[in-house]
Structure 1
Amino acid sequence: MTITSNIYKKINQLPNGKTFGYADLHIAKNDYSAAAKALSRLVEKNFIKKISKGIFYKPEQTSFGELMPDYQELLRPYLFKNGKRIAYETGTSLYNRLGLTSQIPFRIKIASIHKRINIDGKILKTQAVKSYTKVTNSNYQILGLLDAFKDIKHIPDCSITQGLHRLSAIINELTHQQQKDLIKYALLYPPRVRALLGAILENENKEVTLLIKLKESLNPLTTIQLGVTKTELPTKNNWYIK
C-alpha cells in the first residue's frame, strides 16, 4: 500500500470534525516528506482542511454546509503531546468562560512551560505565554484560575470589584483539595497573586492552616497596589494590599 493510500485510509476512519497531525496517522519520520505531499493533495481536493503547519481536520458536511471542528477540538492538538497535556488556554478567552468578562479575543493565549505555541492561521490564531510550572491534566484548571488572579487589573470589561466577587464565588465551588492545590501553585506566582488569594480565602473564612504558607511567603515591607477598599475586601490589610 502506498503512503498516499495508507494516509487516505486512516483519515477516512477518523470521525468528522476530528483534528489530527502526523503522529495521529502513525507516519514514520522518514516518510514525512512523502506524507506532506500526500496531505497537501488531500487539502487541494477539500478532503481535509489545514489549521496550521502539520495540523489538519476532517470537515463534516451537512445540509447547511461544511462544519468546522468545535473550539476545544481545534485547540486539542496544541494542548497535548503523545496523549499528555503540555499546555492550557489562558487569557481573555479563558476569563470569558470563567464569567469574568464578556469579551472574546482575536488571538487565544496558550501557556506552556517549555513549548512556545504561536499559530497564525486562517482558522486559529494563538499567542504563546510561559506557564509558572509544568502543565498536567490535574493542574491546568488551577493554573488558569491563578492566571485570573494575576491579571485581575487587566481583564477587559471587569472591574476589580466584579473580579473579586466572581473569583470568590469560584473559590467557594472548589473542593478542599482543590483549594489546597490552589495555594500550592500560588506559591509559584508573583506576590500579588498570593496576597489576593490569601485575602479572599480569609474573607471566606477558610481554615487558618491553609493560609500559613501564603502569609509566610509575603514580605510585610512590600505592599500590593490593587486599589481596593476595605468594604470590597475587608481582609486586605492583613495581606498588605492597598
Structure 2
Amino acid sequence: MKIAAQIRKTIESIPEGKPFGYDDLGIGQADFVTAAKALERLQKKGTIKKISKGIFYKPEETRFGPLGPDYNALLNRFLFKKGKRVGYVTGGELYNQLNLTTQNYFRTKIATNRSRKKIEKGWLKTSTVKSYAEITEDNYQLLGVLDSLKDIRNISDTSTSQAIKILAGKLVNFSKSAIEDLIRLSMTYPPRVRALLGAIIEEKFATEFDLSDLKSSLNPTTVYKLNVKEAEFPTIKNWNIR
C-alpha cells in the first residue's frame, strides 16, 4: 500500500478530535517527507487540521462550525510516554480539582521528571516543573497532595486553615498503605511539608502511624510559620507550626 493511502486509511480509524502524530500513523522515518506531503494535502481538503508541528486532528463538524481537538487527549500526550506516566497536572488546575480553590487557570502546570519547558501546542498552553519524586501511575495523586501542602500559603481564594481542613478530610479516606506511601514520598519535599503532613496525620489518626522518621527528619529548632491557629489544629504545636 502506498504511503498516502496508508495514511488515509489510518486516519479514518482515528476518532474525531483526538490528536495524532507521525508515530500514530505507523510511518517510518524514511517516509516522513512523503507522509508530510500527504498530510499537507489532507489539510488543504479540510480532512485534518494542524495543532502544531507534527500534531494534527480530525475536526468534528457541528452546525456551529468545526470543534477543536480534545483537550484532555492533547494533554495526555505530555503526561504519558509509550503508555507510561511521566507527568501529572499540578498548580492551580490541580488545586481547583481538589476543591481548594474556585479560581480558573488558563495555563496548565505539569510536574515531570523529564525535560522542563513551556509547551505551546495550539489550545494547550503549559509550563513545566520538576517533580519531587519519580512519577508513577500509583503515586502521582499522592504527589499532588504533597504539592498542595507545599503551596498551602499561596492557594488563591482560600485561607491556609481552610485548605488544611479540606486536605485533611481527603486523607481520612486514604488506605493505610497510601498514607504510608505519602509519608515516604514527603521525605523528598521541603521540611514544612513534612511538618504539616505529620501534624495532619497525628490529628486525624492519633497513634495509628509511626511518625518517628518524619519527626526526626526535621530540625527541632525550626519554626514553620503557616498562619495556623492551635485552637483549630492542636497537633501543630508538636510540629513547630505557628
Q: TM-score, normalised by structure 2?
A: 0.92
Deviation at 1:224, TM superposition (A): 1.2
Tell whether the 8 Å contact from 1:20 to 1:77 is kept in structure 2 after alignment.
no
Tell which deviates more after alignment, 90-99 or 207-216. Answer: 207-216
Tell whether the 8 Å contact from 2:198 to 2:239 is kept in structure 1 after alignment.
yes
Q: 2:172 matched to which residue of 1?
A: 172
5+ residue gaps in structure 2?
Answer: none
| Cα deviation 1:171-197 (Å, max 9, x = unaligned) | 112111111111111111111111111
Measured in 1, the distance between the counterparts of 2:162 and 2:146 equals 16
5+ residue gaps in structure 1?
Answer: none
Deviation at 1:68, TM superposition (A): 3.4
Measured in 1, the distance between the counterparts of 2:88 and 2:223 equals 31
Q: 1:88 matched to which residue of 2?
A: 88
Tell which deviates more after alignment, 120-129 or 92-101. Answer: 120-129
Deviation at 1:80, TM superposition (A): 0.7
Q: 1:175 and 1:71, CA in 2 relative to 1: closer, same or farther beyond 3 A?
A: farther
Residue correspondences, number = 242
Q: TM-score, normalised by structure 1?
A: 0.92
Tell whether the 8 Å contact from 1:88 to 1:112 is kept in structure 2 after alignment.
yes
Q: 1:217 and 1:17, CA in 2 relative to 1: closer, same or farther beyond 3 A?
A: same
Q: 1:22 matched to which residue of 2?
A: 22
Deviation at 1:124, TM superposition (A): 0.9
SS in 1 for 2:210: helix
Q: 1:45 matched to which residue of 2?
A: 45
Tell whether the 8 Å contact from 2:142 to 2:182 is kept in structure 1 after alignment.
yes
Q: 2:188 matched to which residue of 1?
A: 188
Tell which deviates more after alignment, 39-48 or 8-17. Answer: 39-48
Letter in 1 for 2:205: N
Q: 2:116 matched to which residue of 1?
A: 116
Q: For 1:1-242, what aligned pairs fall within 5 Å after superposition?
A: 1-242=1-242
Measured in 2, the distance between the counterparts of 1:53 and 1:89 equals 23
Measured in 2, the distance between the counterparts of 1:204 and 1:229 equals 16
Deviation at 1:5, TM superposition (A): 2.3
SS in 2 for 1:129: strand
Deviation at 1:117, TM superposition (A): 4.7
Tell whether the 8 Å contact from 1:21 to 1:77 is kept in structure 2 after alignment.
no
